[in-house]
Amino acid sequence: AQTVTQSQPEMSVQEAETVTLSCTYDTSESDYYLFWYKQPPSRQMILVIRQEAYKQQNATENRFSVNFQKAAKSFSLKISDSQLGDAAMYFCAYRSAVAPSNSGYALNFGKGTSLLVTP
Amino acid sequence: NAGVTQTPKFQVLKTGQSMTLQCAQDMNHNSMYWYRQDPGMGLRLIYYSASEGTTDKGEVPNGYNVSRLNKREFSLRLESAAPSQTSVYFCASSPWTEDRDGNTEAFFGQGTRLTVV
């Protein structure tokens, strides 16, 4: 099964500053999807951004952008102009795009990074 | 648009009791998932169903069973609950590939907080 590693259990950023959350993954597949999810204290899982592996251009959604390095199997999330509302757990996730694969369509998550935003 | 609906939201069980967590989605997704979330462990996949009629084990399937009742519904059953199954459980669904809006992501229910005493 594909593994997803988030090496930063906790990160802290000041309001209006920029922070980068790291994610690496292990796969032998060439076609897949990558996601960043946010989980605030409400427990709701909210999609932040997604990246298709076949797309070379890094995805961007407003203040959120990714640095997708396919060869290095790295998928980091950059949050610019951080806001208090960005404080949450952030999860990186991987999903196969090829049907069927040995692992089917399992959606695998990293252990998460807790982001603290200070005023 | 309801999305993914999970019931119940909270449950307390005694050791050895059984229960079924229900999940339904109205987005016509093929794939459905059950996860458990424990502090410091992220979301760990219990079982998933790539399509109606198929189910596969995830990372932590022991002590659980699942049923993909139809395309909409995917239930998780604890036959004999143990304190180690105290956790927050999430159901999710996703399309196989990009849907008509170009979306590929999974959508999640609100979670069930289960306590086994």
Written as one letter, the residue type at B54 is T
pLDDT single digits (tens) B18-69: 999 999 999 998 889 999 999 888 899 999 998 888 899 988 999 999 999 8
Structure-derived torsion over alpha carbons of residues B14, B16, B17, B23, reported in degrees to the nearest 10: 100
Residue of chain A minimizing CA distance to B110: A44
Residues in chain A where the model's pLDDT stays below 70 = 1, 98-104
pLDDT reported for residue A101 = 52
Written as one letter, the residue type at B57 is K
pLDDT reported for residue A106 = 78
B58 touches chain A (CB under 8 A): yes
Residue of chain A minimizing CA distance to B44: A109
The average confidence (pLDDT) of chain B is: 92
* Residue A97 φ then ψ, to 5°: -115, -5
pLDDT reported for residue A34 = 94
B80 vs A2 pLDDT, higher one: B80
pLDDT reported for residue A98 = 66
Gyration radius from chain A CA atoms: 14
pLDDT reported for residue A1 = 65
pLDDT band at B1 (very low <50, low <70, confident <90, very high): low
A117 vs B101 pLDDT, higher one: A117
pLDDT band at B101 (very low <50, low <70, confident <90, very high): low
CA quadruple B27, B31, B34, B40: dihedral sign: negative
pLDDT reported for residue A23 = 98
For residues A119 and B92, what is the distance between their CA atoms, to the nearest angstrom?
34
Cα distances from B13 to residues A20, B20, B37, B82, B117, in angstroms, run 41, 11, 18, 9, 6
Residue of chain A minimizing CA distance to B31: A105
Cα distances from A53 to residues A5, A23, A111, A118, B5, in angstroms, run 17, 15, 21, 34, 30
**Which residues, numbered 60 to 99 in chain B, qualify as contacts with chain A under a Cβ-Cβ cut-off of 8 Å?**
88, 90, 92, 94, 96-98
Q: Kindly state the helix (H) or strand (E) to which residue A75 belongs, with its residue range.
A: strand A74-79
Residue A60 in tokens: 């961007």
Residue B115 in tokens: 């306590």
List the single best residue of B105, B108, B110, B112 to mutate versus A (max A Cβ within 10 A). B105
For residues B83 and A49, what is the distance between their CA atoms, to the nearest angstrom?
35
For residues A47 and B95, what is the distance between their CA atoms, to the nearest angstrom?
15
What is the number of residues in chain A? 119
